[in-house]
Amino acid sequence: MSVNIYVGNLSYEMTENKLSELFSQHGAVSSAKIITDQYSGGSKGFGFIEMKDSGEADSAIGDLNGKNILNREMKVNIAKPRTNNWN
C-alpha cells in the first residue's frame, strides 16, 4: 500500500523533479506534486510525495523532517486524508 507524505515549508525554488530526487534516496517515489496557486502559477510552499513502501516512507520522513533544503527547514510527515467539512 502506498503512503502519501506531506512536505511543507518548501523553498519557492523547489521543483517537483528535485523533490522526487530528494525522496528517491530513500526508496521508490510514485509521484511528487508541488501545490501551486491557480492564479499566479507560483508554488504555495508545500506539496505531496507518494511512496510505494511504508518502511521507505518512514525512513524518508525521519531523515528529511526538519532538514534545511534551499534555506528552508522542511516539515515532513504522513499526509492526513482529505476531509469533507461541508456536512
Phi-psi region of 66 (alpha: psi -120 to 50; beta: other; left: phi over 0): left
What pLDDT is stored for residue 85 in this prediction?
Answer: 58
Please count the structural domains in the chain. 1
Q: Is the residue at 60 inside a domain?
A: yes
pTM exceeding 0.85? yes
Q: Is the residue at 23 inside a domain?
A: yes
What pLDDT is stored for residue 86 in this prediction?
Answer: 54
> What is the total residue count of the chain?
87
What range defines the domain where residue 37 resides?
3-78
Measured CA to CA, the distance from residue 70 to residue 35 in angstroms comes to 17
Q: How many Cα atoms are found within 13 Å in the side-chain-facing hemisphere of 51?
A: 25
Q: Which residue has the cell 534551499?
A: 70
Q: Which amino acid is at 38?
A: Q
- Domain of 67: which CATH number? 3.30.70.330
Going residue by residue through the chain (87 aa), what tens digit of pLDDT does each one get?
799 999 999 999 999 999 999 999 999 999 999 999 999 999 999 999 999 999 999 999 999 999 999 999 999 999 987 776 554
What pLDDT is stored for residue 81 in this prediction?
Answer: 79
